[in-house]
Amino acid sequence: MTGSSGFALFAQLFVSLDQTTSTTLKVQALADYFGTAPPADRVWTIALLSGRRPRRTVTTTQLRNWAAQCAGLPLWLVEEAYPVVGDLAETIALILPAPSDMVQPTPSTPADAPITTLATMQNGAQSLGPTADLADWIVMLRGLSQADDKTRHQCVLQAWQTLGTTERFVFNKLITGGFRMGVSQKLMTRALAAATAIPEVDLALRLMGHWDPAEVDFETLVLAPDPQANLSRPYPFYLATQLDAPPQELGDPADWVAEWKWDGIRGQIVYRGGTAFIWSRGEELITDRFPDLTEMLDLLPDGTVLDGEILAWQHTHKRPTNPPKQAELPLGDVPLAPATEPAVQAARIPGLAGQPQPFAQLQKRITRKSVSKKLLQEVPAHFLAYDLLEIQGDDIRTQPLAQRRASLEQILQTLPADAPISASPLVQANTWDGLADQRQQARGYQAEGLMLKHRNSPYQDGRKKGDWWKWKLDPLSIDAVMIYAQAGHGRRANLFTDFTFAVADETGALQPFTKAYSGLTDAEFRKITAWVRKNTLERYGPVRKVRPELVFEIAFEGIQRSPRHKSGIALRFPRMARWRQDKPASEANTLADLTDLLSAFEQ
Amino acid sequence: MTKRTTSRTPVLSFTDKGIYCAAADAFIDPWRPVDRALITHGHADHARPGHGAYLCTEAAAPVIRHRLGNVKIETVPFGQAVAMGGAQLSYHPAGHVPGSAQIRVEVGGEVWVASGDYKVAADGLSEPFEPVSCHAFISECTFGLPVFTWDPQPTVMAEINRWWAACAAAGKTAVIGAYSLGKAQRVLANVDTTIGPILTHSAVEATNKVLRAQGIALPETTQLTAEMSAKSHPGALVIVPPSALDAAWTRRFKPVETAFASGWMRLRGIRRRRAADRGFVLSDHADWPDLNNAIKESGAERVFVTHGYTSIFRRWLESQGYNAAIVETEYGDEAPEAEEDAEAALLPDASDNPPEPSGAGA
């Protein structure tokens, strides 16, 4: 109905993305969109697809009420329909009648205060018609945060009257603040690269950091970025791949740098223009949560970017009177590690004047937006730097690691001994066996294993195989998606405890490859059971096919080919090492990862 | 036989075997074996095996015979009154699938109508729905929520045609999941046959054969065989039961694009969970406005609601001034064709005990 408006184009994009499960087609639809949409809309689309969603300016209660009123339905009926649809924005879009059939709100009595009009509210802007663009609608929505309820009501009604069903749905998604399009930032960046012929890596860098889509134009953000424009900008993280072969295959150990793989938050500290910014790997700016990390940064040269791990810390020089609490294990929990594991406090890590604490401690710091003095004392943070990416404003990511490491140690030397930042110590050994022995210490150090990095490796972008390897304690593990669940027996009756796991093949189809029954706590099983009940797709006797959404880290001791199994693969002692609540199914491992492990193991 | 009928006996009552007419000593769409069954239509949750005698419309009989084999079936033309015991029975088009009927039961001047499954909008295949005046109306409400409204069939068919043509142009096979009795033929009867060849799964073709034999015109179709592939039939539309959408045979037709035609495709969550590439909103059940219109046009004061969002729909009808009640039935399970109903069992409103999945072998 509004074929050429920017908003109609955006709604069409939404439909195209929704109508396919193919990554290629999604990227193509996005790339086409980036080639044709109005420039301001492109910026907003980039913002929406990189987690920069507008805040909700109207309450869901208001929306429900107004929608019921427009549709001439009682509120209770709308509320009954909502859980069936599972999405308020969609529910409303589905019940709203054609604009001509919409029930007009009863006119207010003459005694009422004059209605604020859109025009006066928006500082002279015209009310939005069918030709409005995505940017216009979002600006209108953002403006509602300053408006009174009557204006909000009026604006929303006007939108519903103007828009078709799909556009209404997209508008409702925008207004409820829950906008997702099933496209990762990575895919969006790839599409943008296709549309602009700018390398994906460059775009990833340009799109990071703080920028306000209302204030930046497409030209500045994407096409002609000024490298000085955004001091806060971190570099895209370089991610390591799990080692799937004996390390001996990596060649001469002298070519490799080994360091501890810490169990904290991977982060970058950006210090430019006298200001510090701390970024998590998820590209979240977390400076405010770690004021203790930025204390002595002014001793570093301006234009420094460090890559490292944020850890909860215990200083060895001033032991607290009360020993820090261990992560609480619920009773009945079966620890995967042997009970004879060395106590955390006991191990002194060579090259460190302190002791990393379990991740559970660090969690106290990240769950809060601002941190109290008390918490800062209770759980001090420390940054163990792995790498130096920028020095005196120069991007040195293409330098060999050994050279970057030397510079890193050099600049960190200038910091006092009690500084909250230090270089993560290297693990020294002349042979792989020597490193393997050291690696056995990892658990005692609160580390997950070793990192092996080629001494000549540049700092790359994303997960690139070959130069950086995780050599974790668990010999083999894979993140897999749960696809079937079955209730257990005996004390596990009525609990779903037996799961079948799958990984995606090259077409994206999930291929089951193992079952696992153990490794989780009863509390976790209870939580998963409730989830399974709500997310059953089909039943086959006692087995339920569930939505392929939950990701688990499956640990196992061996892998071999097996003609008896449908997948052609048999695992030895598979168990659930962890419920990866932090990972969507799209980030689980793939069948290719699994077969890589298999061929490595066969040698 | 008439001895059980008294002026106090309701025209129809609800038993654990099905909807019972005491005056005729017969059950409407019973789910346990009975002596005499009055059948609305041939879907397996309504026409079950094991009854002594069946009465259905002439148009519904061939499919029921085909499915139930050697059972005793009597037929009646639409609209013709049949006296059975103290009751006057007649069958009226329900518009759900070919031959499907609402059953009108009149006893001592009081008229009740059991709708079976119905849809009001014409589909170009089934006998169009006919409103029947009554005192009490037993209505299904599979889609008894205001979020369920259907676009007109030409709009949906145009979407399907566009999708098929786009698939064919891109060198892909278009595979559409549609229930093998009703939806499949509805797609067939309305699709633009000039786009390419139409292949059918054996379950669909079996129904096609029965319907063609009774004089229903359907476009030419070819049953899938193991030798066929995308090479032998480029640009084809393949019509299969929903359960066969992701079966092994589709590999021979790669690259494929899959679609599913059902009223449930109205909901994005179900559309996504179905994991077909496309969902077309095409239902053989009445949507929200049509349920309300059909009930209004029946003129009934009492309304009984069966399978669907019964508790919500009853509350709605009461707020509209009807005397409404819920009737527990066992429709909407076991049959592959009943998947529109079975799907409902997985939604939040339904119980935690949905039927077993059906049609797994299709």
Here the CATH number for the domain that contains residue A447 is: 3.30.470.30
Residue B127's CATH number:
3.60.15.10
- pLDDT, one tens digit per residue, over A436-492 is 999 888 867 888 889 999 999 999 988 888 999 999 876 678 999 999 998 766 556
Classify residue B7: in a domain, yes or no. Answer: yes
A283 and A411 share one domain: yes
Same domain, yes or no: B194 and B228:
yes
State the pLDDT at residue B345.
35
Nearest CA in chain A to B356: A539
Give how many domains chain A has, as a whole number: 3
Is A145 within the bounds of a domain? yes
The verdict on whether omega for the bond into residue B255 sits within 30 degrees of 0, i.e. cis, is: yes
Under the banding of pLDDT at 50, 70 and 90, the label for residue B5 is: very low
Check whether A227 has a pLDDT greater than 60.
no
Domain assignment present for residue B68? The answer is yes
Q: Is the pLDDT of residue A431 over 70?
A: yes
Indicate if A327 and A259 belong to the same structural domain. Answer: yes
Structural domains of chain B, count: 2
Cβ contacts of A537 on chain B, cutoff 8 Å? 273, 346
Q: Is it the case that residue A378 has pLDDT exceeding 70?
A: yes
CATH number at residue A582: 2.40.50.140
Surface of B (272-311) touching A: CB under 8 A: 272-273, 275, 277-278, 309
Same domain, B188 and B120: no
Residues A536 and A388 in one domain: no
Judged by CB atoms closer than 8 Å, whether chains meet at A21 and B146 is answered as no
| B99 shares its domain with B215 | no
Angstroms from B202 CA to nearest CA on chain A: 24
Mean confidence (pLDDT) of chain B: 87
Domain boundary among A457, A472, A487: A472
Interchain contact, B312 vs A91, CB within 8 Å: no
Q: Is residue B179 part of a domain?
A: yes
Same domain, A61 and A153: yes
* Pairing mode, strands B82-84 and B73-76: unpaired
Residue B359, domain member (yes or no): no
Chain B residues with CB under 8 Å of A566 CB are: none
| Residues B304, B310, B312, B315, Cα dihedral to 10° | 20
Q: Given pLDDT bands bounded at 50, 70 and 90, which one contains residue A122?
A: very low
3-state DSSP of chain B: CHHHCCCCCCCCEECCCCEEECCCCEEECCCCCCCEEECCCCCCCCCCCCCCEEEEECCCHHHHHHHHCCCCEEEECCCCCEEECCEEEEEEECCCCCCCEEEEEEECCEEEEECCCCCCCCCCCCCCCCCCCCCEEEEEECCCCCCCCCCCHHHHHHHHHHHHHHHHHCCCEEEEECCCCCHHHHHHHHCCCCCCCEEECHHHHHHHHHHHHCCCCCCCCEECCCCCCCCCCCCCEEEECHHHCCCHHHHHHCCEEEEEECHHHHCHHHHHHHCCCEEECCCCCCCHHHHHHHHHHHCCCEEEEEEECHHHHHHHHHHCCCEEEECCCCCCCCCHHHHHHHHHCCCCCCCCCCCCCCCCCC
Residue A28 included in any domain: no
Determine, yes or no, domain membership for A483: yes
Q: Are strands A394-395 and A381-391 parallel, antiparallel or unpaired?
A: antiparallel
Do residue B173 and residue B205 come from a single domain?
A: yes
A571 three-state secondary structure? strand
Q: Which of A122-126, A235-239, A538-542 has the highest mean pLDDT?
A: A235-239
Whether B69 and chain A come into contact, CB under 8 Å, resolves to no
Nearest CA in chain A to B145: A81
Q: Are A107 and A154 part of one and the same domain? A: yes
Instruction: Tell me if chain A has a CB within 8 Å of the CB of B269.
Output: yes
Are A506 and A595 found together in one domain? yes
Higher-confidence residue: B7 or A152?
Answer: A152
> Residue B317: closest CA among chain A residues belongs to which residue?
A77
Q: Are residues B276 and B314 in the same domain?
A: no
Residue A456 is part of which domain span?
238-472
Q: Do B315 and A539 touch (CB under 8 A)?
A: no
What pLDDT score was predicted for residue B58?
Answer: 96
Which residues of chain B make contact with A539, given a CB cutoff of 8 A? 354, 356-357
Q: Which of the residue ranges A167-171, A411-415, A497-501, A556-560 would you say has the lowest mean pLDDT?
A: A556-560
Contact at CB, B349 and A83, closer than 8 angstroms: yes
Residues B255 and B297 in one domain: no
Domain enclosing residue B14, as ranges: 2-148+284-344
A243 lies in the same domain as A129: no
Q: Within this chain, do residues B142 and B72 fall inside the same structural domain, yes or no?
A: yes
Residue of B nearest to A92 (CA): B147
d(Cα A418, Cα A295) in Å, to the nearest integer?
11
Task: Classify residue B362: in a domain, yes or no.
Answer: no
- A172 and A105 within one domain: yes
User: Taking CB atoms and an 8 Å cutoff, what residues of chain A touch B269?
Assistant: 85-87
Question: Which is more confidently placed, A550 or B344?
Answer: A550
With CA atoms as reference, the chain B residue closest to A530 would be B352
**Which of A24, A73, A88, A94 is best to mutate for the B interface (most B CBs within 10 A)?**
A94
Q: Which residues of A touch B309 (CB under 8 A)?
A: 80, 84
Q: Are residues B126 and B237 part of one domain?
A: no
- What residues of chain B lie within 8 A of the CB of A19, using their CB? 277-278
Instruction: Check residue B269 and give its pLDDT.
Output: 76
Q: How confident is the model at residue A327 (pLDDT cuts 50, 70, 90)?
A: very low
Average pLDDT, chain A: 83
A328-350: average pLDDT: 43
How far the first Cα of chain A sits from its last, in Å, is: 62
A126 and A60 assigned to the same domain = yes
Q: Does B152 touch chain A (CB under 8 A)?
A: no
Asked if B146 and A94 come within 8 Å (Cβ–Cβ), the reply is yes
Q: Write out chain A residues lying below 8 Å of B357, CB-based.
A: 538-540
Per-residue pLDDT, A71? 94
Residues of chain A contacting B336 with CB distance shorter than 8 Å: none
For residue B232, being part of any structural domain is answered with yes
Is the residue at A43 inside a domain? no
**What pLDDT, on a 0 to 100 scale, did the predictor assign at position A212?**
87
Of the candidates B273, B278, B315, which has its C-beta nearest A537's C-beta? B273
pLDDT at A244: 83
pLDDT in tens, B279-318: 999 999 999 999 999 999 999 999 999 987 888 999 999 9
User: Is the pLDDT at A421 greater than 90, yes or no?
Assistant: yes
Q: Same domain for B124 and B224?
A: no
pLDDT score recorded for residue B315:
94
The predicted pLDDT at position A249 comes to 92
The predicted structure's pLDDT at residue A458: 97
- Please determine, for residue A241, whether its predicted confidence score (pLDDT) is greater than 60: yes
pLDDT for the residue numbered A334:
35
Interface contacts (A, B; CB < 8 Å): 72
Identify whether A232 is part of a domain.
no
d(CA A550, CA A481): 6
Do B132 and B157 belong together in one domain?
A: no
Answer yes or no: do B163 and B265 share one domain: yes
Tell whether the model's pLDDT for residue A92 goes beyond 50: yes
Q: What was the pLDDT predicted at B127? A: 97
Report the gap between the CA of A434 and the closest CA in chain B (Å): 50
Residue B112 belongs to a domain? yes
User: Are both A566 and A496 inside the same structural domain?
Assistant: yes
DSSP track, A147-186? S-HHHHHHHHHHHHHHS-HHHHHHHHHHHHT----S--HH
- Of the residues A417, A446, A472, the one at which a domain ends: A472
Burial class (CB in 10 A: 0-12, 13-18, 19+), A318: exposed
User: What pLDDT does A376 receive?
Assistant: 92
A261 and A295 fall within a common domain: yes
Examine the fold and report which residue of A414, A449, A472 is the final residue of a domain before the chain moves on: A472
> CB A18 to CB B278 under 8 A?
no
For a pLDDT cut of 90, what percent of chain A falls above it? 40
Shared domain for A303 and A401, answered yes or no, is yes
What is the per-residue pLDDT for B291?
97
User: Which residue in A has a C-alpha nearest to residue B349's C-alpha?
Assistant: A84
* pLDDT value of residue A589: 93
Question: For A361-370, what is the mean pLDDT?
Answer: 74
Smallest CA–CA distance, residue B203 to chain A, in Å, is 21
Do B252 and B128 lie in a common domain? Answer: no
Could you give phi then psi for residue A523, rounded to 5 degrees? -65, -40
CB contact under 8 A, B147 and A81: yes
Residue A39 lies in a domain: no
Q: Quick check: B147 and A73 CB within 8 A?
A: no
- Give the span between the Cα atoms of B191 and A211, in whole angstroms: 50
Check: CB of residue B201 under 8 Å from CB of residue B241: yes
